[in-house]
Amino acid sequence: MKTDSLFQSVKLGPYTLSSRIVLPPLTRSRSTQPGNIANELMATYYQQRAGAGFMISEGTQIEPRGQGYAWTPGIYSKAQIEGWRKVTEAVHAAGNIIFAQLWHVGRVSHTSLQPEGAAPVAPSAIAASNVKVFIETGPGAGALAEPSAPRALTNTEVKELVQLYAQAARNALAAGFDGVELHCANGYLVNQFISEHSNQREDEYGGSLQNRLRFLKEIVTAVAEVVGAERLGVRFAPLFASTDEERVYMGLLETDPQATYIAAIKILEDAGIAYLSIAEADWDNAPELSDEFRRNVRQTFSGCIIYAGRYTAQRGVQTVDAGLGDLIAFGRAFIANPDLPKRIANDWPLNEVNPATMYGGTAEGYIDYPAYEE
């Protein structure tokens, strides 16, 4: 199979990427405790995968209330900034660039993960459904629990959160990241504001689509002022159909997802950000995005477009050659194959990922996947 399309250089903001192969954000829950601090083990993991054309960190919570899973790293304390500097220095030493994904889970959390055991925060006091969170805080595989019932944020708190995103962006730059990505997908906080199902506010942040997109717009504006729009990306996860609507991103399937997300993407286009990342559903028998929607995305957004979601090299080539996407992200394949770009270029076989070591634990199933030997 010819994969030349994936190895063309491409401009992303001020950067020239060596290929179109992306390491996407992948939660691995290996941060040092207490404190949710990035560490040397994580630095090794990212450096091993620095053959990617572009790298984005795992989701890193912007404040203590933003955590929804045990052992995930933050970027709000001095120790966390210092920890992430180990990662960025390792990636830069390998000749690559890396963006930080800024994350707030909103209602997808548990009181045991929240400061002083408080309720998680959300646009409205509506609990997340059909999702589990890791709540165990010691070593091991973790314990799953239903998310706790959230409380609604006040209007003042929403505005404070916009500034917390901006501060997290400052912290990311201080940690040596080359830019940031806003996690606005997968049923987490920004997605909760966008969705008509989880956002039933009656102030300026709820009701009409324009109001439900206000939080997104304010965060994009505030963070762009910190890092520059040319060093900013946003991740969405639009979905259009499912046999199990409750399963779809924690009950957030929209009545008109095309209108919702094209309107959201117009906000990003107006802001002039560097890239849009679209995470497609990645479970078995998941609905695929239509080429019509992809064409609408391309017509609406002039920056780089990243697609992710169980992509094979062949499907990635097809997407790039059709002009629908510029970069292709490989998740599970990159977890199990630190040398994935070389394997794709040479059509070498791939290691299989071990699901038992995906989240939490030690070096096993994290930095011990072997590179290919001919």
* Residues belonging to the active site: 188
Q: Find out whether 239 and 258 touch, Cβ atoms under 8 Å.
A: no
Cα gap 311→360, rounded to integer Å: 25
| Pair of tokens at residue 262 | 């094209």
Q: Coil, helix or strand for 160?
A: helix
Question: Beta strands 133-134 and 144-145: pairing type?
Answer: antiparallel
Token pair belonging to 43 = 């630095």
- Alpha carbons 271 and 263: distance in angstroms, whole number: 13
DSSP 14: T
Give the gyration radius of the chain's Cα atoms.
Answer: 19
CA pair distance 32, 73, nearest whole angstrom: 8
Phi, psi of 232 (to 5 degrees): -130, 135
